[in-house]
Amino acid sequence: MKTKLIMLLLAGLALTTSCNKFLEENPSSNLSLISYYENEGQAEATVNALYRRGSPLRYSTTGSYLGSTASINTILTGYFTNSYEGQERVTLFARELTRQQNTSVISPTMNTIWDGAYEAINIANAGVKYIPQINMVNETKKNTLLAEAKFFRAYNYFYLVKTFGAVPFYTLPNETLNDPLYLERTEATKIYELIEADLKSAVEVLPAKKFAEGHRITKYAAAMLLADVYLQQGKFADAATMAKIVVNSPHKMTQNTDFAENSAYNLLRKTDDLDEVIYAQEFDDLVANSGARTATAFSSSAVSVFTTYSIFERVFGPTKQFLNVYDKDDLRIKPNQFFHWSYTNPINGKKWTSEDAGIWYYVDEQALLTTGRGTKDWNFYRYAEALLTAAESIAKSTGVSAEAAGYLAQVKARANTAGKSVAAFTAELQGLSAENFVKECWKERLRELPLEYKMWDDIVRTKMFPVISTTEAGKVDFVPLIGAKNASGATFKESDLLWPISPDEIQRNNKLTQNPGYQ
């Protein structure tokens, strides 16, 4: 295992990419840590390796049957399902809340999460240790690379802590067989201290520009991640401070040109480098395409309609109850915005239809109709989320203000098809109590971010479960999570808040203990 981790570090260091084109990969060979950290190019290669490794891939990488690993968290709610759960049983056990009795069956998925994150952390640790020792003419470049390494170390630890709770804590790279590999679990609060410190440093150092200007981590990407970290811990004043850095940045909301093909949601679906995008992962059709994401936007019957993919499967699809989270005037529930129920192939005239909604937001039409290779970037953080985080955090820390109401109103107004303005929404929201205003923020996060796998994080941090009405469109109540029933009728237990440590990892490291409730 130790040799494996060291080899993973060297493999990461061997990934060399250009400054602005991460998709152009030129692997090096015969590298060692002793000779590797000597110049700016080697330091940059180390950091570039982190852009396509570890926990970000849990969101951006999609399998034909499993979907994205991060999507399984949303399936815990029962509001989304995987139509292939008979094979991908980790999604079945998630929906039925029976992971505790099936730990060994889901261990391959846990291994993927664990190994990928620690591979990236080990590479980031190497960067944090060695980049300061390299002589560079451009000191700003040196500090920027160091800050990027810290960003990715924080990102991967944040994902691990949310998934498993306490985990082994490394701040130095494993470089030799004498380095400590098998550590006990460290409490999440201690790991959060490093996450916060890394990201505070990154916010101070990274350039204040939009992500599209070079596709590298910026001050605003680091601030958005730190706002998310603070929000997850209930540190609302700090979350508001970081979120407002993003809100006041050059980033901005994408606006509707119309309520059809040129709506904001369709522009986000098909256009890269919008000002709304704070952090994304690049894809192209030659070096790194988006895999099966477009094929997961349909049911299996689409195989007879399109020739570009051999497998179509609705591996992450909303239930009819979830779709009732939107009221009748919400653009996001209209056909071909977030979701769709039919599509006619313009090449052969064949039509796909389904009673269950597919996810239109995942459709790359060029890939669907001609190439079979998706090129649309995956958006990790958007300006809309910054507005929602700022609104909730301000309300929780200082009360409902015009500022907080205005932020929430912007997201609501963009989705409204009845002509209700930002000003009208702002005035209405200001009249709410702090408790009800915060619930409005939670509802809007359900409506705006369901396809980016943010739902479970919100449920865990608030310890409240959204009960979506089956009869009244747009009505959502919130009940205490533990003891509540998910949309599949399973009852939430305390042990459902975390995933199990893989038995494979416990077998390798006898210092590890299993999360309570798991076999």
What is the DSSP track for 17-35? B-SS-TT-B----S--HHH
pLDDT above 90 covers a percentage of the chain that reads 89
Is residue 200 domain-resident?
yes
Is there a domain that residue 195 lies in?
Answer: yes
User: In sequence order, what E strands does 359-498 have?
Assistant: 378-382, 464-468, 476-480
Residues in the chain: 519
Task: Answer whether residue 196 is part of any domain.
Answer: yes
Report whether pLDDT(18) > 80: no
Q: What share of the chain is helix, strand, coil (3-state, %, to 5)?
A: 50, 10, 40
Query: Could you tell me how far CA 234 lies from the centroid of its own chain?
Result: 19
What are the tokens at 79?
């509001």
Higher pLDDT: 27 or 453? It is: 453
237 part of a folded domain: yes
Nearest Cα residue to 66 out of 292, 359, 301, 318: 292
pLDDT at 351 over 80: yes
Q: What is the pTM of this model?
A: 0.94
Asked if residue 438 belongs to a domain, the reply is no
Confidence band of 519 (pLDDT split at 50, 70, 90): confident
Average pLDDT taken over every residue of the chain: 93
**For residue 10, pLDDT beyond 80:** no
- Report angle CA 161, 165, 171 to the nearest 5 degrees: 50
Q: Which amino acid is it at 275?
A: D
Tokens, residue 39: 């110049």
Q: Which two tokens stand for residue 117?
A: 């994150």
Can you tell me which residue has the tokens 């971010």?
Answer: 449
83-138 confidence digits (pLDDT tens): 999 999 999 999 999 999 999 999 999 999 999 999 999 999 999 999 999 999 99
Q: Report the CATH number that the domain containing residue 146 is assigned in CATH.
A: 1.25.40.390
> Where does residue 151 fall: left (phi above 0), alpha (psi -120 to 50 degrees), or beta otherwise?
alpha
Per-residue CA distances from 347 to 281, 300, 305, 306, 336 (Å): 30, 19, 10, 9, 19
Confidence of residue 6 (pLDDT cuts 50, 70, 90): very low
- Give the model's pLDDT for residue 4: 42
Quick check: is 211 in a domain? yes
Evaluate whether 25 touches 287 at the Cβ level (below 8 Å): yes
Q: Whose CA is closest to 314, among 340, 332, 337?
A: 340
Distance of CA 184 to the CA centre of its chain: 27
- pLDDT value at position 35? 53
Distances (CA, A) of 439 to 75, 80, 277, 436: 22, 21, 25, 5
Of 287-291, 305-309, 388-392, 448-452, minimum mean pLDDT range: 287-291
Does 99 reside within a domain?
yes
Which residue range(s) make up the domain with 231?
2-20+30-245+499-503
Average of per-residue pLDDT across 467-480: 98
The set of residues, in sequence order, having a beta carbon less than 8 Å from that of 101 and lying 6+ positions away, is 519
How many separate domains does the chain show? 1
DSSP-derived 3-state class of residue 60: helix
Per-residue pLDDT, averaged over 227-249, amounts to 98
SS3 309: coil
Measured CA to CA, the distance from residue 46 to residue 51 in angstroms comes to 10
pLDDT at 29 over 80: no
In a domain, 441, yes or no: no
What is the gyration radius of the CA atoms in the chain, in angstroms?
Answer: 22
